[in-house]
Every structure is written in C-alpha cells, then in structure tokens.
Structure 1
Amino acid sequence: MREQPADQYAPQRARGAGRLVTKAFGGRTRLAEFFQEGCAKIRLPETFSPEMEAILINTSGGLTGGDVIEWSVAAAASTRLSITTQANEKIYKAAADTASVSTHITVGEGASVHWLPQETILFDQASLTRRLDVDLSENSEFLAVEAVLLGRKAMGEAVTFGFFRDRWRVRRDGQLIHAEEMKFEGEIERLSQAAAVLSGQVAFATLFYTGPLAEALFPRLRQCLDGEAGGASPWTGGASHWNGKLIVRLAAPDGFALRKILTPAISVLRNGTPVPKVWNI
C-alpha cells in the first residue's frame, strides 16, 4: 500500500475575509463596496436612521487553532456605521497552532464608526491572537468595545490553560494615539487570580472612545458607572479621560454581571443610543 503524504490528513481549517466600504448619498450612509469570502459573512439589516448597521457572522460556528478571519471596514467622509456580531465568538480548544482574527478600520473626515462585537468566549486550552488596527481622520469619531469571558460560569466552565493575545493600534492622521497589548499564556486560571490582573474575575472588557464628544461624555459616563455601582455591585472598574480619549476598564465574576454594566456604559458613549438590537436576541 502506497504511503500517503502526512499533510493529507491535516485537519480542515476555517478561512474567512470580509470587506465593507461606505459612502454618503442622499443624506444617508450607503454601501460602496462589499466583499465576503469563506466563513466570513456580513449582513446589513434595514435601519430607520441615516446610520448603517453591519452584522459580522462567522459561519464556522467558532474558531480553533489555525483558523483565520480578516475583517476590513472603511467609512467614507460624513458617514456613520455601527458594526456588531451575530453572537459571541467562541474560541475552542486548540490541538495545534493559534486562531487569528484581525480587523482594520479606516474612518474618514467627519465620519463615525462604532465597533461593538459581542463577547469573545475562551474555552479551556484555547489559543487566539487578535489584532485591531484603526486609522482615523482629524475630525472623525471612533468607539470600540472588546469583552472576553474566560469560560461560561453558568455552564461550570473554567479556563485553566490557554493562550490569548490582544493588540490594538489606533492612529489619527497617521500619528499613534492609543496602543494596547494584552497577553495571557500558560496557566491562565492562576494568572487571573492576581490582584494586578483580574483578582479572580473571569469576565472583562475595555471600552475606548475618541472624538469630538469626549469631554462632554466623560461626566455622564462617570455618573453611569457610579450609579450602577450602588449597593453590592459584583463588578469592578473605572474610567479615565485625557488627550481626547475615554477609556473604561471593567471586570466581573460572569458574563451576566459584565453586561449589566457594559450595556449602559456603551449607550452613554453612543450619546444615548442603545446597543445594537442583535445584542438582545
């Protein structure tokens, strides 16, 4: 019997790429370019406002080692775009290699982009590298949220070992205005117990806003956080404001507690607009 090449039995990997470009036409945000390939799909539900909403879908149902998804979004001048996901992105145990998700967003002059994916759920022994690159114009607005759950507490899940790296780079007119690097590797459960990390919390999120409303939104944001912190609130966090940026860090014992504070905080940074409806489905 003839010996088969070793790579013939390599596991199938998910591959996907999606690109969305907007334009301003007739006082509304319209579609200029649209591309989707592999497991990456984009849906544009009908809205009753000048803003466009895009829903990103990973039809593979989750990611594991070696899977790759790339998203690209460009909002033309004077357009408004909100981007979310159909559901939580699930990162499953990786037998080998690392899953990769990269997103590149360009925001034109006077345009606004709200990057609002639902939570990413890491399972035990998952491996994920995620990257967000944003290029802003001088007077554009950008809001981003990234939330992570280390397993689903209600399902009795825990992340003991794994790998997670998250990299953000935000530039305005080519100048770097914000950079983040997060890395969990190895004994994630032990690392997350440290007071300087998560103090045992398993759900955490970062919100980032930069734009013309930063100074006006900050006191409202603090009021929202202070109001939700009343009583025996299970979450911890804080907000800061400098150089035209707002940053919020939140941590909670589970996804439900995190959403309870995350949802109103996002609404404040959207100047009163609620989170996308798909978050409540």
Structure 2
Amino acid sequence: MFDASLPSENMQRAKGCAEVGFGARGLKHLYQSGCSKALLPKNFQPTPEAVFINTSGGATGGDRLNYSAWVKDGARLDVTTQAAERIYRATTGEAVITNTLTLGENCQMDWVPQETILFENSALKRQLNVTMAESASLLALETLVLGRKAMGEILHSASLSDQWRIRRGDRLIYADALRFNAPDVQTQSTATLNGNRALATIVIVAPDAEDRLQFARSLLPFPDVEAAASAWSGILTLRFLAPDAQPLRNALISFLTQFRGRDLPRVWHM
C-alpha cells in the first residue's frame, strides 16, 4: 500500500574490461568483456591507434570499468576513447574506472582519452596507474568537465577521487590526486577552480621531457583558457583551466597536435 515500505531493487550494474598490447610488429594482445570494447582503426600512420569504448553510454554508482594498454619491444601506440565519458547521477555507491598503462624499453605511448563529464549528484573514483621503463616515453592526458553548460546545469553536489601514479623503473616518480566529496562543490575560489568548470592535466615523462619545456610554453596561451607548464626530474606537466568544455577542447587539440607533431586520433574530430 505504501511505496516507501517496499524494499529497493538492486539495479543492474555495468562491468567491463578491455585490454590491448602491441609489440614491434603490431598487435600482440586483445581482450574485451562486458560493456568495455577496444577498436583498432586503420590510420595509415607510423603509430597505431587503440580506441576504448564503453557501450553502456556512461557510468553510474556501482559500475566497474577497467582499461589496460601495454607496449614492448620499442613499439609505439596512441590510446584514446570513442567519446566523452559521462558520469551520471548515482543513487548508491560510485563508478570506478581503472586505467593501467605499461611501457617497455624504448617504447612510446600517448594516452589521450576524451573528456569525462560529471553530472549533478554523480560519484566517480578514477585511477591512472603507469609502469614504464627508464628509456620509455609517455604522454598522458586527463580532462574533467563539471556539469553540462548546454543543459544549464551547475554542479552543486558530486563526489570525485581522481588519482595518478606513475612508476619509472622501480621508483614512484609522479603522484597526483584530485578529490572532493561535498554537497556544495567549491569552484569559485582562486585556490580551487576560480569559477572555471573544465580542467585538464597533461604529464609527459621522457628522457627529453625537461628539454621540451620552452617549446611547450611557446604554444601557450589560448583564448578563454588559462594554462601553465613546469618541468623537473624528467617530467613535464601542464595544467589547463577553462569556463567550459569547448574552449578547453579546442586548446587541447591545438596544443597536442603541435606538441606531438601529428594529428590526434580521428575520433577526436568526429
């Protein structure tokens, strides 16, 4: 008689795992299960591409998604996602997305997924774990958008735990964490986002990373985007802040195309 007295149903949760591995002669490993898939488009370029897909169309509380890519024997690989990852309102729990990258000797990998969009009342725990050889080169990007401007949505309540861990040889060389968990997401303070709602981090780890700092800075700034670069101990990092997703996306496409010396994967332009 009273709906409130009825036990709540356990909603079906999405689970997925996709893995790719490349060697000097091309694809060595491909595995996919659940809602996570991997596509290997032909690009007629020296560097092959892998595109990860979440066929469920987004993630919400209780979903578990795992993506993994590795390269060995001097291989190169660009890894991206088919579209922006949407993190929907969570009724219980959090969406967990774990990305694992492994780079062997003299290998190069560019991890350039498209943006992640947090919806109101969403909850996300995301991890990027990298293990790389001393002679390997990594470029890693993560982009976060708070709310949907086109829908008039201003993010007031959300939960995020976003963690980076990069190990080079047997040493942890880079650790970063972004976390908030509050009914009122603070974005106005100059100590946080200064009123911006889109942010991105790029980390380059390579034998020549520090030498490329001045070149990276020469590509900045961009219209409506705040950006800065710094380098130390074989690591080059850049931070970007923008009032919305589109100016940030435009800046990232411009910067990455010039810095890498080649176009981003085609899905970025669809």
Common fold, TM-score beyond 0.5?
yes
- 1:145 matches 2:141: yes
Map residues 84-103 of structure 1 onto 2, 5 A cutoff.
84-103=80-99
State the match for 2:17 in structure 1: 17
- The one-letter amino acid paired with 1:225 is L
CA distance in 1, matches of 2:269, 2:87: 21
Q: After superposition, give the CA deviation of every residue in 1:121-175 in whole Å (9 maximum; x if it has no partner).
A: 0000000000010001010000011001101212211211010110000010020
Output the CA distance in 2 between the equivalents of 1:176 and 1:269: 26
Q: Sequence identity, in percent?
A: 39
Distance of aligned partners of 1:157 and 1:43 in 2 relative to their CA distance in 1, 3 Å threshold: same
Q: CA deviation at 1:192?
A: 1.1
SS at match of 2:176: strand
| Unaligned 5+ runs, structure 2 | 1-6
- The 5-angstrom pairing of residues 239-278 of structure 1 reads 239-270=229-260, 272-278=261-267
Quote the Cα distance in structure 1 between the aligned partners of 2:51 and 2:146. Answer: 24
Return the offset for 1:225.
0.4
Amino acid at match of 1:277: R
Tell me how far 1:215 sits from its aligned partner: 3.3
Q: RMSD in angstroms over aligned alpha carbons?
A: 1.5
Which of 180, 184, 199 matches 1:204? 199
* Cα deviation code 1:18-70 (max 9, x no counterpart): 11111112xxxx11111000000000001212321000000000000000001
Give the structure 2 partner of residue 3 of structure 1: none
Q: Measure, in 2, the Cα distance between the counterparts of 1:181 and 1:215.
A: 22
Q: SS state of the match for residue 192, structure 1?
A: coil
Length-normalised TM-score, structure 2:
0.94
- The residue type paired with residue 250 of structure 1 is F
Checking the alignment, whether the CA contact within 8 Å between 1:13 and 1:67 is kept in structure 2 is yes
SS at match of 2:220: helix
Residues 1:188 and 1:50: Cα distance change in structure 2 (over 3 Å): farther
Q: Give the C-alpha shift of residue 267 in structure 1.
A: 2.2
Matched-pair contact (CA < 8 Å) for 2:131–2:169: yes
- Deviations along 1:92-132, one digit per CA (max 9) or x if unpaired, are 00000000000111000000010000000000000000001
Output the CA distance in 2 between the equivalents of 1:108 and 1:155. Answer: 44
Map 1:102-251 onto structure 2 (within 5 A): 102-189=98-185, 191-226=186-221, 228=222, 233-251=223-241
TM-score, scaled relative to structure 1: 0.91
Task: Return the alpha-carbon distance in structure 1 between the equivalents of residues 169 and 212 of structure 2.
Answer: 23
- For the 8 Å contact 2:201–2:240, the answer to whether it is kept is yes
Q: Which amino acid aligns with 2:235?
A: K
Length, aligned pairs only: 265
> Are the aligned partners of 2:18 and 2:31 in contact in 1 as well (CA < 8 Å)?
yes
SS at match of 1:145: strand
Structure 1 letter corresponding to 2:28: A
- 8 Å contact 2:210–2:233 — kept in the other structure? no
Q: CA deviation at 1:188?
A: 4.5
